[in-house]
Amino acid sequence: MNRLTSILAMSSAFVLLGVAPAFGADSYVSFSGAIGAGLVTVGAAFGIGRLAASAYESMARQPEVAGTIQVAMIIAAALIEGFTFFALVICMQQNPFK
């Protein structure tokens, strides 16, 4: 996990450094909304995936409380999705040419 995080951070840095000379000096700002939206989407997908995996594992261990676990999972997934939509709206409002 730690190695994957460092690989993703390094590749993001290389992408940002490679984009700037090709598109001009303001390209860091102009691509910040798109990069932020991508990171938000990946983070939300990772969080919901972990949530579902943990819930299914809990239901497999204790089938008698599966209904309670499922309700809690749906509520948590809805909260994650709500925050994700909010963060995407904020990222898409980053327009340097206003």
Residues spanned by the domain of 56: 33-93
Q: Give the CATH number, domain containing residue 52.
A: 1.20.20.10
In a domain, 10, yes or no: no
Q: Which residues contact 54 (CB under 8 A, 6 or more apart)?
A: none
Digit-by-digit pLDDT tens for the chain (98 residues) are 577 777 777 676 666 655 555 555 555 556 677 777 888 888 888 889 999 999 999 999 999 999 999 999 999 999 999 999 998 888 777 655 55
Q: Quick one: pLDDT at residue 20?
A: 54
In a domain, 23, yes or no: no
Q: Is the dihedral of CA 45, 46, 48, 49 positive or negative?
A: positive
What is the DSSP code (8-state) at residue 97? Answer: T
For residues 13-38, b (16+ Cβ closer than 10 Å) or e, as one string? eeeeeeeeeeeeeeeeeebebebbbe
Write down the number of H helices and E strands in the chain: 4, 0
Counted domains in the chain: 1
Is there a contact between 96 and 34 (Cβ–Cβ < 8 Å)?
Answer: no
Q: Which residues contact 90 (CB under 8 A, 6 or more apart)?
A: 36
In a domain, 44, yes or no: yes
In a domain, 67, yes or no: yes
What is the DSSP code (8-state) at residue 94? Answer: -
